[in-house]
Chains A and B, each alone.
Chain A
Amino acid sequence: MIINHPILGPRDAQEFTYLGDASLIERPDPQAENADETFHDYVYLRDNPAGEHQELWYHEQGDRSWLVVTRNTLTHEITDVQLARDAARARGRSK
């Protein structure tokens, strides 16, 4: 596969390490009352869609950017690639 890195352009997927579902960005609030439940779900539950999937790839053999890649799990078509930092901010993460 080829991932179109937002900074570096098209790169072979071999340069990347795959992590999984981009929902891992949404780490729950540890202070919340039901944190034990939300952290359980955060660690153990994933959607496994046959189709479009947002997932985390790490450019380990490159510039060490984490990316959020939107990939169709059936066709491997990649429709969007963002820096994970930007995606995280868009999801409300900051400090």
Chain B
Amino acid sequence: MSDMTVNSGVAFTSDRAAKGTAKGQSHRLTGGLVERAKPLSFTFDGKTFQGFEGDTLASALMANGVKLMGRSFKYHRPRGVLTAGSEEPNALVELRSGARQEPNTRATVAELYDGLEAKSQNRWPSLEHDMLSINDKLSNFLTAGFYYKTFMWPKTFWEKLYEPIIRRAAGLGSASGEEDPDVYDKGFLHCDLLIIGAGPAGLAAALTAGRSGARVILTEEDFLLGGRLNAESFGLGDMSGMDWVGQTQAELAAMDNVRILPRCTVIGSYDHGVYGAVERLADHVLAPEPGKPRQILWRIYSKRALLCAGSTERPIAFENNDRPGIMLAGAMRAYANRWAVTPDQRVAIFTNNDDGHRTATDLIAKGVEVAAVVDTRADAPTVEGTELFAGAQVVDTKGKLGLEWIRIRTASGVTRDIPVGALGVSGGWNPNVHLTCHQRGKPEWREDIAAFVPAGDIPVGMSVAGAANGAFSTSAALRTGADSAVASLAALGFDVAPADLPEAEDAPVNVTPFWFVKEGKGRAWIDQQNDVTVKDVKLAHQENFRSVEHLKRYTTLGMATDQGKTSNMGGLAVMAELAGKEIPQIGTTIFRPPYTPVAMGTFGGRSRGKEFRPTRLTPSHKWAAENGATFVEVGQWLRAQWYEKPGETHWRQSVDREALATRSSVGICDVTTLGKIDVQGADAATFLNRIYANAFGKLAVGKVRYGLMLREDGICYDDGTAARFAEDHFVVTTTTANAVVVYRNMEFARQCLWPDLDVQIISTTEAWAQFAVAGPKSRDLLRKIVDADHDISNEAFPFMGCAEITVCGGVRARLFRISFSGEMAYEIAVPTRYGNAMMEALMEAGEAFGATPYGTEALGVMRIEKGHVTGNELNGTTTALNIGLGRMVSQKKDSIGTVNSRREGLNAEDALNLVGLKPVAATEPVVPGSHLMAETGEVHAKTDQGYVTSAAYSPHIGSSIGLGFLKNGSARMGERLRAVNPLQGQEVLVEVVSAHFIDPEGERLRG
């Protein structure tokens, strides 16, 4: 910073040397916080310009005499810059090109870098000649609510005609449509005191807090610390404001307990001291360094927070107040002092308060001609070096693509035209209360400063200091900042005195509210971003949109990227006047996060594409991938869907082969994804008796039982098996989808319902790799794997047996004789680390039998053939009675859901029953989702007989088959029905059959 010159006060016309280095920068003044030794080159709409390090895009364009920066949203009016900060409504550009193109970037906060590319928006063919400026001539038709009134009829025109046209005409920037090449991170920070904003209040607070040893985080949205101190010419003590900032920053940087985050905007205040913040690490360079994030979304956990967010100047509305060159007076001063630029060499000021006069004084000191100060106050103080018009108003302006002159009406009532190229407007300052309102805080009106200040339910642990709290003078900001830090830290037990503070200006706020000029028939803009005028607010009022929230929605006042930071107050004031009320009676709209716009990529962070959520791989994934598996996502899991063999050209060939091979010999499937819960304790059986609808108390050790779980409302929600390995030890399986929910509910039952049962549970889903080995040769295969001292003959290890065994010469394993396919089948589990090896071992052992790996498709085919239910049938609306297991629900004991399963409505005579469905013509498909209707008659919801839940081609039956629910279906075997699918215009004649297409007697299971 040492080689920057601060506010030297030398006129730009007299310093030819400085002008010489500022190539083409006709509007560059002397002084300022730009590095003249570091010129930067950039383009705007394809034209190359020069600026300096320290510039924003807006200040650099201004330095080059560019006033026109955009076109307005609705009327395509030429617009220039209004502000010098994140509240900017007008100067929105597309930044960068290609995949990094970013629309609606505020030129006022876009830091200049070498090679920056910017384009104006919402214009065609060019910014100077915009065809759609015809909208401006049609303004009488485009008033508030025009969407609602104009495009009502005919209905179909909306989608096809009106909306596309409006979207094209009334738009902001465009996105690249390409994938964002940058990465965004998320991070967590903790502190005792979070200080939001590093202006005079924030710096005084940080200095005080830093010296206490407390953990402090200081955030600042700007790239420089200092806030308004960078924009003002007055000093602090015997230093310039900027030098004091530099000294303070150096002291803070040397403190280990203080973390300074520039380019970091706190976007929201959340419960319990949690704040969201976006740090822009690489928005000020061409592209992030490889591997480094562009932005970080921080979640900051604070014990206390201190809001030092400053204030935002508000404009005054008057006719044609939106021409390029008309800007806020405080912004004009900031451009002159900090960036050493002026929008024009001849300017005027329009103000209702003393602060506007500072702009005049500072610009005069910089050698800019101030043609007039127009002050609405009759008793306005004089300004040296310019003509003061006290008690006067600006009533109109003229100029094609930028301001050329203003018309004022003087106190005596005469009009006068003054040629100027820029006008600084000040209607007073609004404290930035936003973050105080994120938890229902309602700001309160303070008459003495004519502004809302934080009040009511401000977030717990937050205090507010400086201009954000209405303490507008620099002295007050420093003092309240330091004092608030002391108070916040005292609450945390830190004993600290306020930092020594320099002498600073302490001017009183001298403002007489003045919101809009009543003279004139033309349009006076309140919200330039949304093209909302005083007339629009009047119209809304006339049409009875009188609540402030309704006003916002009807006129769009205060919407879009700036969220009305410069316009909301104006809208409220007009509304108050129309309603004959005071502003505090009207109130404000609700402030919601984020404080400034946040890119979606930032919220997404690393969670995009493949990383959107974790991917879980089954233990045999490697083997499957090497053996032709096609994978399917099942929740977070990737499971083999089928294994393609050479020569197979359609997935059905693979699936049919796998199902046939399993039923004729042996198939192997990784079923690890099923949930596994280990249940132990003296009361384990009692516990499971209450979890499952069917009885478990008498299940013998070494046996497995199918179990059905109900919700407390009596509806089925999961099924699986429970294997008893000891009196006090069960292993429960759940469906893949419900593994988490079942476990959660079991913990609920254990901790909340029956806290004194002696039972412990743990999820072991990922601890065991489990494989189904199914088919008539399954036992022969397993004999080659299972160690010889374990007898797995049918007699020793019959259907529904379970045992802890060893395999492959001593590897610990669990064997279950259970079957989902309907064949004689086993499931074998080994510790997960052996999973892939186990798959290899099983395939090797099965080579002699033609062992076939099968995926989820063949698994599904075989379970449909067997009539086993899955999530399609346990769909959250079905009862045990519906799925044909009504008698399983034990009435001799209490279990979750039993009482409500008895409800009359769930036990109606025509209740849905699970049935099998076969097409009458074998070539036709049964389509899941189809509804069942009588063979003839009307197809209508009221004639609905049921629906198809699952269907597949069965290579055993030789046709498509399905499962479904049919009213009183158990008594309707052989009946013909239509399965209708109106969405696809399909109608298939089906026959009602048993849901057990294969081996209805269950002989194969027991073989």
Is there a chain B Cβ closer than 8 Å to A56's Cβ?
yes
Known contacts: A17-B744, A30-B899, A39-B899. The answer to whether A2 contacts B753 by CB under 8 A is no
A17 to B898 CA separation, bound complex (whole angstroms): 26
Proximity string of chain A (39-57) to chain B, C-beta cutoff 8 Å, 1 when within and 0 when not: 1101110000000000010
The chain B residue sitting closest to A30, CB to CB, is B894
Complex formed: what's the CA distance from A19 to B753 in Å? 14
Q: Are B752 and A85 in contact (CB under 8 A)?
A: yes
Q: Which residue of B lies closest to A71 (CB)?
A: B271
**Complex interface: chain A residues within 8 A of B753 (CB):** 25, 27, 88, 93
Q: Give min CB distance, A11 to chain B, whole Å.
A: 11
Residues of B within 8 A of A43 (CB): 712-713, 900
Q: Are B457 and A66 in contact (CB under 8 A)?
A: no
Interface string of A52-95 (1 = CB under 8 A from B): 00001010100011100000000111100001110111000111
Interchain CA distance A56-B903 in the complex, whole Å = 27
The answer to whether the Cβ of B460 comes within 8 Å of any Cβ in the partner chain is yes
- Chain A residues, Cβ within 8 Å of B272: 1-2, 76, 78
Q: How far is the CA of A66 from the CA of B761 in the complex (A)?
A: 14
B457/A75 in contact, CB under 8 A: yes
Are A65's CB and B274's CB within 8 A?
no
| Cβ–Cβ contact A56 & B274, under 8 A | no
B755 CB–A CB distance under 8 Å: yes
B504 at the interface (CB under 8 A from A): no
Instruction: Output the least CB separation between B769 and chain A (Å).
Output: 24
Contact call B894/A58, Cβ cutoff below 8 A: no
A3-60 residues at the B interface, CB under 8 angstroms:
12-13, 17, 19, 24-25, 27, 30-31, 35-36, 39-40, 42-44, 56, 58, 60
The interface residues of chain A lying within 8 Å CB-to-CB of B902 are 36
CB distance from B767 to the nearest CB of A (A): 16
Tell whether, in the assembled complex, residue B900 and residue A40 are in contact, meaning their CB atoms are under 8 Å apart.
yes
- State which of A31, A42, A64, A88 has its C-beta within 8 Å of the C-beta of B755: A88
Which residue of A has the minimal Cβ distance to B899? A39
B683 is an interface residue with CB less than 8 A from chain A: yes
B756 part of interface (Cβ distance < 8 Å) = yes
- Given the complex of chains A and B, what is the CA–CA distance between A78 and B686 in angstroms? 36
B282 at the interface (CB under 8 A from A): no
Q: Which residues of chain B come closer than 8 Å to A83, judged between CB atoms?
A: 751
A-side contacts of B899, CB under 8 Å: 30, 35-36, 39
**Is the CB–CB distance between B683 and A95 below 8 Å?**
yes
A1 to B271, alpha carbons, bound, how many Å?
5
Which residues of chain A are near B274, meaning CB under 8 Å? 1-2, 12
A85 touches B751 (CB 8 A): yes
* Chain B: number of interface residues, binned into ranges: 20 to 34
Question: B460 contacts which chain A residues (CB < 8 A)?
Answer: 75, 77
Within 8 A of A (CB), among B881-906: 894, 898-900, 902-903
User: Is B757 in contact with chain A by the CB < 8 A criterion?
Assistant: yes
Q: Is B141 in the interface zone, CB < 8 Å from A?
A: no
**Does B494 belong to the interface (CB within 8 Å)?**
no
For A19, list chain B residues within 8 Å (CB): 748
A83 CA / B751 CA spacing, docked (Å) = 9
| B747 cross-chain contacts in A, Cβ below 8 A | 58, 64, 66
Given contacts A1-B271, A77-B460, contact A93 B712 (CB under 8 A): no
Q: Is A39's CB under 8 angstroms from B712's CB?
A: yes
Q: Which residues of B contact A66 (CB under 8 A)?
A: 747-748, 751-752
In the assembled complex, B151 has its CB within 8 A of some CB on chain A: no
Query: With A40-B900, A60-B744, A76-B271 as given contacts, are A89 and B713 in contact (CB-CB < 8 Å)?
Result: no
| Chain B residues whose C-beta falls within 8 Å of the C-beta of A87 in the assembled complex | 752
* Least CB separation from A35: chain B residue: B899
Residues of B within 8 A of A65 (CB): 751
Interface centre among A13, A19, A24, A27 (most CB of B within 10 A): A27
User: Is B754 in contact with chain A by the CB < 8 A criterion?
Assistant: yes
Cβ–Cβ contact B751 & A84, under 8 A: yes
Which of A35, A42, A58 is B748 in contact with, Cβ under 8 Å? A58
Rounded to whole Å, the gap between the CB of B122 and the closest CB of chain A is 39
The verdict on B301 contacting chain A, using a C-beta distance below 8 Å, is: yes
Cα A77 to Cα B439 with chains together (Å): 12
Chain B 897-938 interface 0/1 with A at a Cβ cutoff of 8 Å (1 = within) = 011101100000000000000000000000000000000000
Given A2-B272, A36-B903, CB of A94 within 8 Å of CB of B756: yes
Q: Which residues does chain A contribute within 8 Å of B756, judged by CB atoms?
A: 89, 93-95
Q: Is the CB of B457 within 8 A of A89?
A: no
Q: Which of B713, B740, B752 has the most CB of A within 10 A?
A: B752
B898 and A85: CB pair below 8 A?
no
| Contact B751–A88 (Cβ < 8 Å) | yes
Chain A: minimal CB distance from B571 (Å): 29
Across the interface, name the chain B residue whose C-beta is closest to A89. Answer: B755
CB pair A88–B900 under 8 Å, yes or no, is no
| Shortest CB distance B757–A (Å) | 5
Residues of chain B contacted by A76 (CB below 8 angstroms): 271-272, 439
How far is A76 from B273 in the complex, measured between Cα atoms in Å? 12
Are B900's CB and A39's CB within 8 A?
A: yes
Contact partner, B712, options A42, A58, A85, A94, Cβ 8 Å: A42
Distance of A1 Cα from B751 Cα, bound (Å):
24
**Min distance, Cβ B570 to any Cβ of chain A, angstroms:** 32
Interchain CA distance A36-B714 in the complex, whole Å: 11
Which residues of B722-768 are within 8 A (CB) of A? 740, 744, 747-748, 751-757
Q: In the complex, A49→B262 CA distance in Å? A: 43
* Cβ 8 A contact of A84, one of B301, B744, B752: B752
- A10→B242 CA distance, assembly (Å): 41
- Distance between Cα atoms of A24 and B711 in the complex (Å): 13
User: Given A2-B301, A76-B272, A88-B751, are A95 and B744 neighbors across the interface (CB < 8 Å)?
Assistant: no
Bound together, the chains give a CA A60 to CA B743 distance in angstroms of 10
- Find residues 349-403 in chain B having any chain A CB closer than 8 Å to their own CB: none
A85 B755 Cβ-Cβ under 8 A: yes
**B686 partner residues in chain A, CB cutoff 8 A:** 95
**A58 and B755 within 8 A (CB):** no
Residues of chain A within 8 A of B751, CB atoms compared: 65-66, 83-85, 88
| Residue ID in chain A nearest B749 by CB atoms | A27
- Name the residue of chain A whose CB is nearest to the CB of B711: A43
Alpha-carbon distance between A36 and B755 when the two chains are bound, in angstroms = 24
Residue in A42, A56, A94 whose CB lies within 8 Å of B754:
A94
Alpha-carbon distance between A39 and B744 when the two chains are bound, in angstroms: 21
- Nearest chain B CB to A2 CB, angstrom units: 4
Q: How far is the CA of A2 from the CA of B274 in the complex (A)?
A: 8
- Chain A nearest CB from B978 CB (Å) reads 37
Q: Is the CB of B894 within 8 A of A31?
A: yes
For window 408-449 of B, CB contacts with A under 8 Å fall at 439
Residues of B near A17 (CB, < 8 A) are 744
B757 neighbours in A (Cβ, 8 Å): 95
Q: A93–B755 contact, CB under 8 A?
A: yes
Query: In the complex, A1 Cα to B757 Cα: how many Å?
Result: 32
**Residue of B whose beta carbon sits closest to that of A32:** B899
Task: With both chains docked as a complex, state the minimum distance between the C-beta of B140 and any C-beta of chain A, in angstroms.
Answer: 46
Complex Cα distance, B274 from A87, in Å, reads 28
Q: Which residues of B contact A84 (CB under 8 A)?
A: 751-752
Nearest CB in chain A to that of B301: its residue = A2
CA distance A1 to B459 in the complex (A): 12
Query: How many Å lie between the Cα of A88 and that of B755 in the bound state?
Result: 7
Residue from A58, A65, A89, A95 having most chain B Cβ neighbours under 10 A = A95
A29 nearest CB neighbor, chain B only: B894
In the assembled complex, the CB of B553 is this many whole angstroms from the nearest CB of chain A, namely 25
Q: Can you show 6 pairs from A to B with CB atoms below 8 A apart?
A: A2-B272, A2-B301, A36-B903, A39-B899, A43-B900, A85-B751
Task: Add 18 more A-B contacts to A31-B894, A66-B752, A94-B755 (CB < 8 A).
Answer: A17-B744, A25-B752, A36-B900, A36-B902, A40-B903, A43-B712, A44-B713, A58-B744, A60-B740, A64-B747, A65-B751, A75-B439, A76-B439, A77-B460, A84-B752, A85-B755, A88-B755, A95-B683
B contact set with A: CB distance below 8 Å: 270-274, 301, 439, 457, 460, 683, 686, 712-713, 740, 744, 747-748, 751-757, 894, 898-900, 902-903
* CB-CB nearest 3 A-B residue pairs: A30-B894, A2-B272, A39-B899
